[in-house]
Structure 1
Amino acid sequence: MMSKIALSRITVLFLITVMVTVGCAKKPKLRLENLQNNPAGSAFDGTNGAGDGYDPGSFSPSGLAPLDGLAGQDGTGKDGAGSGAWGDLGSPVADANASNFVKNGTYWNDKVYFDYNRSEVRSSERPKLEALAGHLQNNPVFAVVIEGHCDDRGSDEYNRALSERRSLAVRDYLVTLGIAAERMHTVSYGEDRPAVADAVTEADHQLNRRAEFLIGTR
């Protein structure tokens, strides 16, 4: 009959094995779908009442259509504007011409950062977009691809939709600064291209919540 000591040792080894296995598994995704849901036109701008976040809201010049809701949050794989299926989640949200929109592209030296689970352009980030708009106005041959990104908290579908809203918010803000919509293209990578891989700290997550700008000739 197995002694109590031997049984205790087996129990301890079993528990250690379980803990190691769980620790090595991919961390569970937070479900963000019902947190701070901010459809276009909401008065809440994610700034705790400070009122300094830019939300395109109902702004919709010719050819632009900000999303009415977060894409894919209902699990259908379609966005809130009804533009159709996303397809493979390994691919960014963009049309087939996104990768060829600019030639000889180089990245703008500034990135725009976002609050957690928000898509509004913060007031602190607006000077960066104003500088970018000035560069584009001074160089009319240039066009820009706006890349939206998220941190890895949230489901893949939700993050893809959130990064899409971020790229659209930036595009719409640049339109208000006088940049023609035809010179811009949005692409949304979700969490697939982190600036900081395996982010743990909030500072690292903040670096992943961003929009980047690829500038080149048409």
Structure 2
Amino acid sequence: MQIRAVGASALMIEVDDPLAWFATLDAARAAGRLDVTDIVPGARTVLLDGVPSVTALTAALRAWPPPAAASAAGDDLDLPVTFDGPDLAQVAAHVSRSPEAVVADLTGTAFRVAFGGFAPGFAYLSGLPWSVPRLENPRPRVPAGSVALAAEYAGVYPTASPGGWQLVGRTDVALFDIDGTPPALLTPGRTVRFVVA
């Protein structure tokens, strides 16, 4: 583990299993054993913000035992998807599968929310059985609800925005509600399954 101060009241830790560390640290915070405001997992990091003493927490983290592998957090979510995206055939060709086989692979995968992304409600879903490139020329507007793939991740655009991920389908499920608890439907550690709508 590497630990770096990020300003006067935050720490960034680089770890092998950010979801496991997130779950462990979040449980410690809930039990009153960790005084931080926010815990934010990333692809290879966990950010701890609102740290009263960066020096004290750095020492505590260095002595912290490594967590067990992350287990699923919260209820599983079945997300209904219509697989009619404009890039489905391109993805199928890239991974040497038929479009039907790609859909079968996607619906047969239990994805995990690894971390939040570039917009409120966007989540990087790990577990993609193969890797696909981003588009060479990003689209100026991707419709809300678009189910997309890039590198080793799947994701769903919560709102219309520019984007360079390959679009394989769409869902009508709302992914972000500012008045919801929590506002994001896809929270770190949650298991997500795509089902044919």
Normalised-by-shorter TM-score class: under 0.3
Rg larger in 1 or in 2? 1
TM-score, L = length of structure 2? 0.26
- Structure with the largest fraction of strand: 2
TM-score, L = length of structure 1? 0.24
- Structure with the largest fraction of helix: 1
